[in-house]
Structure 1
């Protein structure tokens, strides 16, 4: 079955056909490293990590780029307020983003270019646009270079808006513009800015505009045309709209498919630093575990907004405990080394625009069937279910045995024999109480385990326990 994705540009679900058979190239807009990441930032990283894993499971070789915007107005302002050089400030929070990605099991991209390392490519792109009549240097000798939106009749094709219906950004600097909606390709140096935060160009000294960076970096590494461009839905306009315009106006076909994930919201509003309604990634991981936070972000459909609350994170942790409880039961019974093909229902769901809710339901159904097999004394069926569950967890990036979770499962795995021993000691006491017909004592032990979230099932081979939440 072929993969179908909702393409934002076409505004419909379409069949995905890569430009090069067997290979997929993806460019994702990455972090602007002004401050620490919140859960709204990293949802994109998790969603596109799942996409990448699914493409690889489907037999594609994936090249994935995620950029770092390490120079912009906010970085300069926040660095000055913090009393540190802008480049040190950017590097500090770039590391914070990487820590967050690792904590959520997000694999590093194939390459991660920084904006400051690609100024020559940006200058080349600007020169092409000026030569073609789609960009101009401001006549006030400020060093600003702008894209002329009215020179490009297709401007607005991604968002579906018309130029005359657009308003300029509230924080846009109008100096030197022919039209207030023209966007900056290059920003001339301003008084008081650090000398290290600007570069020489034929039009004056300055630094790159945000939109220019991505087109230049994508073109350098993925070529004039590539398969998928991704990012959060808030980037559709103006950022991605501007990327399309400047790239196509320069003669580059650019991305063939556009994918956008929805927001993480709090009290119904988009999570953002400016609104103050953010949640620190590492704090959430410390409270609930990295795999649980990843499940919370990956489980809902990527185009659906998800509401953040302690209850929703706790629910994800409980769901993961149900899965891990089954895995632990099988491992306690016998070493589980079987491999398995993915269930047909799971494959169909993932091929239908990454239908993770249905795919996750297949995981839970397989866990249920595996537990039933264990309770019925059918270990072969349980091991087969175990193998299928692990194969599906690999796609979600949630396999507890995968290398990316060694930092999280290492400590808990050291405690597994201790936990098993303590629970088994209580079960032995319960068995002895039942043997002497002390039903009150047996029931008390069962209730005590239930209060801890453990379910006891009596089988012909003796009592079995599992986490049941």
Structure 2
């Protein structure tokens, strides 16, 4: 369906502090730039949240029918990278390239679609130098001993995004205050090379770019000076995005971003999670014990602009939710596959879906469109009509096992197929489907549960045998203890017919 036929999409604009109707500069097309990671280590949950938040936006815009150009950069030239490379004895660019690749691995696991392009700073030095030259020519920057600084007092609207006043500002860069600056808030566009640092020739001598100029240059390179959406974490509003606005305007007075969007922090015990505070968990640390889809689910259980507090209990809940989703889809596939041998020549005679399915599908479709179009209200989707649709599928699967007339069975099959189709559509936009089969995902979820329980599957199967024997011996205290002990470790035993199976559960 074309974008213009959809319900109005509203996004929160950090510049105006209001939700606004989204109207791209070019009808039917969206240009979006999102600040990526400084690649010097494995990425943490804060990075994951930013990536997933804007992946949801990317997916939903495409769902609405837009053609989206999505640019997300890699910072591969930075003080932190150089410091880490000196510690490890690696070449800074090689170290950064390695962690760029690791980031892409993490993002793939989290079901984040690749952006249209992922530019690196080191590949755009010429563009950066050209922009700095233009800023100097326009009278907004000055050179001191091989360093180039932006003069914030020359930009009358400095602070328009963050609300920061110049007399309250500290230096807008990742280094100590430099007394050579005309104003403490002036920030580096170009840094004179120090010994044993990456360097490139420039009109001001060998050096490297400052932190902020890279995004202005690369967004202009790929999206021009006028584009629709600029995104990133809320911590980037000041100084990074504030400085981007200033230098982009200084290079080109027509520079304009229509919508500034920012995701909230991930917190740990209600304190911002970050590498500098040392209270962070890497994505790898989490996905060693939890399925990446469980982590993605957890990351969208709060609205993207709200803080999200990390907790094991929330991850357990999300893991359980993902297992429920994929078990429902697998059960539906198992039940319907043998019944789908329908004569295609008579397919037009298939009955209409039942009223319960119609109501279920309509409610899910309407809720999905209205809530996602209201600044991406993912928690409402997860906890509302989507759950109801999954419950309808499960109750209908139970009904399908009962004897019924052929016509009634066909109607129920059609109802399940159409409901499953709507569920999958929603899950796809949320990024909660997988290229792997349902069964593969379920087995992976079970494997993660065993890891958390510090058990092998053979251990669980052995305990099931012990419990089965205890029940035969009428030693019910022992059988109950085995079940209770496993439940405490996140392993649920379920008696199905004459056999006992197990599945992950929230530890009791």
Please confirm whether the aligned pair reaches a TM-score higher than 0.5, indicating the same fold: yes
Contact 1:326 1:466 in 2 (8 A): no
The question of 1:395 aligning with 2:396 is answered no
1:15 deviates by: 0.5
Q: How does 1:6-405 map to 2 (within 5 A)?
A: 6-138=12-144, 141=145, 143-168=146-171, 171-190=175-194, 192-194=195-197, 197-251=198-252, 252-335=254-337, 343-361=365-383, 362-377=385-400, 378-400=412-434, 402=435
Contact 1:329 1:466 in 2 (8 A): no
Q: Distance in 2 between matches of 1:82 and 1:395?
A: 41
1:291 deviates by: 0.7
Instruction: Describe the shift of the 1:366–1:455 C-alpha distance in structure 2 as closer, same or farther (beyond 3 A).
Output: farther
Q: Distance in 1 between matches of 2:438 and 2:35?
A: 28
Aligned to 2:276, the other structure's residue is in SS state: coil
1:225 deviates by: 0.5
Instruction: Describe the shift of the 1:42–1:468 C-alpha distance in structure 2 as closer, same or farther (beyond 3 A).
Output: closer
**Could you list the runs of 5+ residues in structure 1 that have no partner in the other structure?**
434-438, 459-463
After superposition, the CA RMSD in angstroms is: 3.3
Normalising by structure 2, we get a TM-score of 0.79
Instruction: Describe the shift of the 1:168–1:397 C-alpha distance in structure 2 as closer, same or farther (beyond 3 A).
Output: same
Q: Distance in 2 between matches of 1:410 and 1:75?
A: 39
Q: Distance in 2 between matches of 1:407 and 1:93?
A: 31
Contact 1:455 1:467 in 2 (8 A): no
Q: Distance in 2 between matches of 1:353 and 1:179?
A: 38
Q: Distance in 2 between matches of 1:259 and 1:349?
A: 17
Contact 2:492 2:502 in 1 (8 A): no
Aligned to 1:210, the other structure's residue is in SS state: coil
Contact 2:326 2:442 in 1 (8 A): no
Q: Given the alignment, which residue of 412, 426, 441 partners 1:409?
A: 441
Q: Distance in 2 between matches of 1:385 and 1:88?
A: 49
Q: Distance in 2 between matches of 1:25 and 1:282?
A: 31
Deviations 1:41-81 (A, max 9, x none): 11111111111111111100111011111011111111001
Q: How many residues align?
A: 438
Q: Distance in 2 between matches of 1:407 and 1:247?
A: 50
